[in-house]
């Protein structure tokens, strides 16, 4: 029996529930954009850095793993950690409206790891997988999706 374990890191894209941080930011910014007025995005801790991948890359990694003969554990992620503040800044930059950020301490986690980043060297070395997209590609797609909706 072929058994493979996968440790996927954060991934995102169109269709992910807006209760997750990045689609939530995109939805709020798109709603402000569509309103034609200035607005506010409520956030939690923006100082953490996270390794987010585009869901398209993660699905491709899963396919490559399933098609391989390897029976090992793979980390699957971009290998790059960006600050939530940087990703939110990118999202706000896509809007033509004035958007303020308000920090809501109730959204902070009691314990939060400052940086989470994937070491993808094994899957890249063994299967040749590496990301084709960035988290910023996913953010652009999600923002545009919510603007159309």
Q: Which residue has the tokens 């094994």?
A: 122
Cβ-based neighbours of 10, under 8 Å, separated by 6 or more: 50, 51, 52, 53, 77, 116
Three-class HEC string of 98-130: CEEEEECHHHCCCCCCCEECCCCHHHHHHHCCC
Q: Is the pTM of this model over 0.85?
A: yes
Per residue of the chain (149 residues), what is the pLDDT tens digit?
Answer: 788 899 999 999 999 999 999 999 999 999 999 999 999 999 999 999 999 999 999 999 999 999 999 889 999 999 999 999 999 999 999 999 999 999 999 989 999 999 999 999 999 999 999 999 999 999 999 999 999 98
* CA separation for the pair 47, 139 (Å, rounded): 18
By residue range, what is the domain housing residue 59? 5-148
Q: Which residue has the tokens 């980390």?
A: 75
Provide the number of structural domains found in the chain.
1
Nearest to 36 by CA among 149, 147, 128: 147
Query: CA 93, 94, 100, 103 torsion: positive or negative?
Result: negative
> What was the pLDDT predicted at 128?
98
CATH number, domain at 38? 3.40.50.720
């Amino acid at each position: 029996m072929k058994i493979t374990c996968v440790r996927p890191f954060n991934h995102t894209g169109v269709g992910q529930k807006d209760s997750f941080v990045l689609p939530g930011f995109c939805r709020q910014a798109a709603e402000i954009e569509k309103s034609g007025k200035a607005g506010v995005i409520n956030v939690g801790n923006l100082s953490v850095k996270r390794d987010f991948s585009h869901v398209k890359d993660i699905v491709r990694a899963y396919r490559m793993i399933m098609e391989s003969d390897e029976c090992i554990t793979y980390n699957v992620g971009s290998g790059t950690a960006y600050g939530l503040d940087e990703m939110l800044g990118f999202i706000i930059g896509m809007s033509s409206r004035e958007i303020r950020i308000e920090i809501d301490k109730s959204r902070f986690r009691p314990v939060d790891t400052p940086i989470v980043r994937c070491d993808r060297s094994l899957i890249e070395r063994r299967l040749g997988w590496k990301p084709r997209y960035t988290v910023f590609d996913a953010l652009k797609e999600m923002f545009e999706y919510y603007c159309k909706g």
